């Protein structure tokens, strides 16, 4: 009974949560192995269950099994691929964007050049058209044209006259006809 | 940039137009105020305007010559001692800087053609005519094509000249 008294004291301490690890072990040992008096049997199941839980442990292949499940789990794999896809799509979108930026840049330069080459001559032709509309300038230009033409005609005539005079002089000297005929034949 | 170069080139060409022989300008200006002279001066700017005339207003072969011209000066005096003015002009103008193209003395009429060239391109053509009846000085500057100018009178079929040509070759 003395032994049971000690157990009862330990139990009181246990309920108070003041037992040491060694005392816990003594209690557990007592309830799982020795014959238990009737008044203490109510606590037997508690300590037996406790020891059962403590005895439970992960099997050796638990880690590998879990890892295998993780690797093969279709859901997990799918999730992984989806996230990869997202990353890929983002990459592609970025590349696409870069490409379009290039094209936009080239298009802008071409547009700029076209603007310079098309707009600039247009303003020039407008200026020409304006000066053509100017009636006074037009009359002056026509008058100047006629004067220049007269001067050119005069110069041209004098040139030819000079050449003719030379040719005439030559023909008077002799045999120009023969020379011409020879060259013609 | 391209237009900048064009503008500079245009300005350079314009100045070339103004660089008409100083002696000619001086000689020309000497008689500009003299009302007994017929004076014609066509500026580079005016040649620019002539170039804008429409095709049906001008003759193509004439315009072909005119489009390269930058300046024209004509000095004329009728019913006067043309030979005196002619000799004065020959003396005043620095003819050494020119190349003699043609000198014709036909009776009492003196005709002298001189040119100034830059390589293959003739840049100035000066004609002096002096006879007891008239004095004529014509000066062209620009890019001068003598062949084209010589053909102008032929295509215009100036009588006498054509006739003279035939007489010359069939005698």
**A174 has a pLDDT exceeding 60:** no
Whether residue A70 lies inside any domain: the answer is no
Whether residue A105 lies inside any domain: the answer is yes
Grouping H, G, I as helix, E, B as strand and the rest as coil, residue A129 is helix
Residue B167: list chain A partners with CB under 8 A: 168
Predicted local confidence at residue B160, as pLDDT? 43
What are the pLDDT digits (tens) for A18-48? 888 888 888 888 877 767 777 777 777 877 7
Selection from B41, B45, B116 nearest residue B73 by Cα: B41
Residues A7 and A49 occupy one common structural domain: yes
Angstrom distance (rounded) from CA A70 to CA A77? 8
Predicted local confidence at residue B9, as pLDDT? 60
**A144 has a pLDDT exceeding 70:** yes
Residues A33 and A14 occupy one common structural domain: yes
State whether A144 and B50 contact (CB < 8 Å).
yes
Predicted local confidence at residue B16, as pLDDT? 47
Whether residue A78 lies inside any domain: the answer is no
Residue spans of the domains in chain B: they are 2-170
With CA atoms as reference, the chain A residue closest to B169 would be A177
Residues A8 and A26 occupy one common structural domain: yes
* pLDDT band at residue A175 under the 50/70/90 scheme: low
State whether B66 and A140 contact (CB < 8 Å).
no
**B157 has a pLDDT exceeding 80:** no
* pLDDT band at residue B35 under the 50/70/90 scheme: confident
Q: How many residues does chain B have?
A: 171
Grouping H, G, I as helix, E, B as strand and the rest as coil, residue A17 is coil
Q: Count other C-beta atoms under 10 Å from residue A142's C-beta.
A: 15
Q: Mean pLDDT, to the nearest integer, of A123-130?
A: 55
Partner-chain residue, chosen from B42, B149, B170, that has the shortest CB–CB distance to A159:
B149
What are the pLDDT digits (tens) for B82-125? 888 898 888 888 788 888 888 888 888 889 999 988 888 889 99
Whether residue A145 lies inside any domain: the answer is yes
B62 or A171, which is more confident: B62
Q: Is the dihedral of CA B144, B145, B147, B151 positive or negative?
A: negative
Residues A50 and A12 occupy one common structural domain: yes
Q: Mean pLDDT, to the nearest integer, of A5-27?
A: 84
**B164 has a pLDDT exceeding 50:** no
Whether residue A120 lies inside any domain: the answer is yes
Q: Mind giving me the DSSP string for A88-99?
A: HHHHHHHHHHHH
Whether the CB of B129 is below 8 Å from some CB of chain A: the reply is yes
Among A118, A127, A152, A183, pick the best mutation site for testing chain B contact (most B Cβ within 10 A).
A152
Tell which phi-psi region holds residue B38, choosing left (phi > 0), alpha (psi between -120 and 50) or beta. beta
**A180 has a pLDDT exceeding 80:** no
Whether the CB of B138 is below 8 Å from some CB of chain A: the reply is yes
List all residues of chain B from 73 to 92 with a beta carbon under 8 Å from chain A: 74
Whether residue A81 lies inside any domain: the answer is no
What distances in angstroms separate CA A1 from CA A40, A43, B55, B145, one per listed residue?
12, 17, 144, 148
Domain carrying residue A148? 135-178
Residue B74: list chain A partners with CB under 8 A: 147, 151
The position carrying tokens 């707009």 is A119
**A147 has a pLDDT exceeding 70:** yes
**A78 has a pLDDT exceeding 60:** no
Whether residue A65 lies inside any domain: the answer is no
Angstrom distance (rounded) from CA A107 to CA A100? 10
Overall domain count for chain A: 3
Residues A116 and A141 occupy one common structural domain: no
Angstrom distance (rounded) from CA A13 to CA B97? 138
Residues A52 and A14 occupy one common structural domain: yes
Angstrom distance (rounded) from CA A134 to CA B23? 35
State whether A120 and B3 contact (CB < 8 Å).
yes
Residue A138: list chain B partners with CB under 8 A: 49, 53
State whether A141 and B53 contact (CB < 8 Å).
yes
Which contacts qualify for B59-66: CB closer than 8 Å, 24 or more apart? B59/A149, B61/B148, B61/B151, B61/B152, B61/B155, B62/A145, B62/A148, B62/A149, B62/A152, B62/B152, B64/B148, B65/A152, B65/B145, B65/B148, B65/B149, B65/B152, B66/A145, B66/A148, B66/A149, B66/A152
Contact B21, B94 (CB under 8 A): yes
């Amino acid at each position: 009974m003395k032994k049971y008294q000690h157990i009862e004291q330990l139990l009181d301490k246990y309920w108070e949560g003041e037992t040491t690890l060694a005392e816990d072990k003594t209690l557990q040992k007592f309830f799982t192995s020795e014959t238990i008096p009737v008044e203490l049997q109510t606590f037997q199941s508690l300590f037996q269950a406790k020891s059962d839980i403590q005895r439970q442990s992960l099997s050796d292949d638990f880690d590998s099994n879990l890892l295998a499940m993780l690797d093969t789990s279709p859901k997990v794999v799918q999730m992984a691929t989806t996230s990869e896809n997202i990353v890929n799509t983002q990459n592609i979108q970025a590349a696409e964007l870069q490409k379009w930026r290039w094209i936009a840049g080239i298009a802008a330069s071409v547009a700029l050049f076209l603007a310079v080459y098309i707009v600039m001559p247009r303003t020039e032709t407008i200026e020409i058209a304006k000066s053509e509309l100017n009636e006074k300038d037009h009359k002056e230009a026509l008058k100047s044209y006629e004067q220049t033409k007269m001067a050119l005609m005069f110069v041209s005539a004098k040139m030819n006259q000079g050449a003719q005079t030379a040719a005439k002089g030559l023909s008077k000297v002799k045999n120009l006809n023969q020379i011409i005929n020879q060259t013609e034949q | 940039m391209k237009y900048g170069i064009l503008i500079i080139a245009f300005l350079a060409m314009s100045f070339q137009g103004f660089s008409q022989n100083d002696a000619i300008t001086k000689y020309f200006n000497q008689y500009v105020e003299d009302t007994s002279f017929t004076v014609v001066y066509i500026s580079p700017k005016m040649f620019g305007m002539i170039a804008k005339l429409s095709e049906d207003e001008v003759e193509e072969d004439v315009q072909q010559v005119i489009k390269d011209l930058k300046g024209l000066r004509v000095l004329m005096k009728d019913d006067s001692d043309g030979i005196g003015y002619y000799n004065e002009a020959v003396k005043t103008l620095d003819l050494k800087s020119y190349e003699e193209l043609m000198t014709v003395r036909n009776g009492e009429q003196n005709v002298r053609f001189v040119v100034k060239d830059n390589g293959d391109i003739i840049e100035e053509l000066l004609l002096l005519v002096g006879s007891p009846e008239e004095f004529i000085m014509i000066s062209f500057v620009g890019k001068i094509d003598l062949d084209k100018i010589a053909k102008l009178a032929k295509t215009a079929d100036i009588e006498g000249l054509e006739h003279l040509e035939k007489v010359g070759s069939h005698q």
